Amino acid sequence: MNATELRKNAIFQNNSVLDYRCGHFGYNMVIQQPNTQIKLTNVSIVRLRKGGKRFELACYKNKVMEWRSNVETDLDEVLQIHNVFLNVSKGQVASKEDLKKCFKTEEVDKVIQEILKKGELQVAEKERTDQLETIWKDIANIVTDNCVNPQTKRPYTVTMIEKAMQDLHLSVNPKRSPKSQALDVIKQLQEKQLLPIQRAQMRLRLTLAQSSASKKLREKIMPLLTSIEDEDSNESEIEIIALIDPGQYRIINDLLQKEGKGKGQLEIMNLREKEEGDERF
């Protein structure tokens, strides 16, 4: 096939032309517009080193994380070009021999899935900065929404939490969820006593049948309650209204399901017990 025929077989994608040119060592793919080679823009590159070679995928921004979290399952929605590259910017496609040698398979989709799963997502500096700022604010908002000053029961403002995070010299980890990092922040603030802080308590109503089994269950549940606000009983049942740390809810519920044998009830009355207004310095 001559150069003219090759040019006619060019593939158009994302307003760019994939032009196959014959070189001394075979065919190389370069991504270009007529007469001008361009770099892919608005693209996220996922890179994986394996078997002494570097393999890359050209992906749409944000789609890689969606695929990794199972929000997106269609590879065509993730990939700008459905192929495995040695170098995306130069348009160098990995050969079947490369795939066979390094991945023990020639099936492109299997290789793509491994690279998406294990590869490193390359992020531009500005994009990385924006990502870290977003995670930082998410952490601060989660702490603000879920915590109070235990002395006043009032929540802190986001600004106050961010100031405390700065005092902790917090380094945001883009590979961890904001929620897990927020829990770490709460723990560190408590340990270093930078702020009087605790998770906002959950108010619940616990109802148990009057029986010897329920009495033993009650003995196990009582240490898990932060405080009891009200307790009432009659010949058939016991009702307790109490505050608990949200982290204890699942433990209490599991105890009730396993040992209560369906004769007890747990009702959330207030997800977060807070006083009106924000805490101020």
Chunk the chain into consecutive blocks of 10 residues (it has 281) and report each block's average pLDDT, rounded to whole numbers. 40 37 37 42 85 93 83 91 91 92 94 93 78 92 91 90 94 87 94 89 85 80 87 85 86 82 77 59 44
Q: Domain spans of the chain?
A: 44-122, 125-199, 202-268
Assign domain 125-199 to its CATH architecture.
Orthogonal Bundle (1.10)
Helix (H) or strand (E) holding 229: strand 227-233
Tell me the per-residue pLDDT of 68-100, one tens digit each, with 9 for 90 and over.
Answer: 878 899 999 999 999 999 999 888 999 999 999
Q: Which of 189, 112, 192 is nearest to 146 (CA)?
A: 189
How many residues are recorded in the chain? Answer: 281
- 194 touches 169 (CB < 8 A): no
Q: Which CATH class for the 44-122 domain? A: alpha beta
Res 4: pLDDT: 38
Q: Which fold has domain 202-268?
A: Alpha-Beta Plaits (3.30.70)
Indicate if the alpha-carbon torsion angle 234, 269, 267, 180 is positive or negative.
negative
- 234 touches 207 (CB < 8 A): no
Res 41: pLDDT: 58
Q: Which of 190, 188, 252 is nearest to 222 (CA)?
A: 252
97: exposed, middle or buried (C-beta count within 10 Å: 0-12, 13-18, 19+)?
exposed
Unique residue bearing structure tokens 């989709």: 109
Q: Please state the φ and ψ torsions of residue 251, each to the nearest 5 degrees.
A: -65, -45
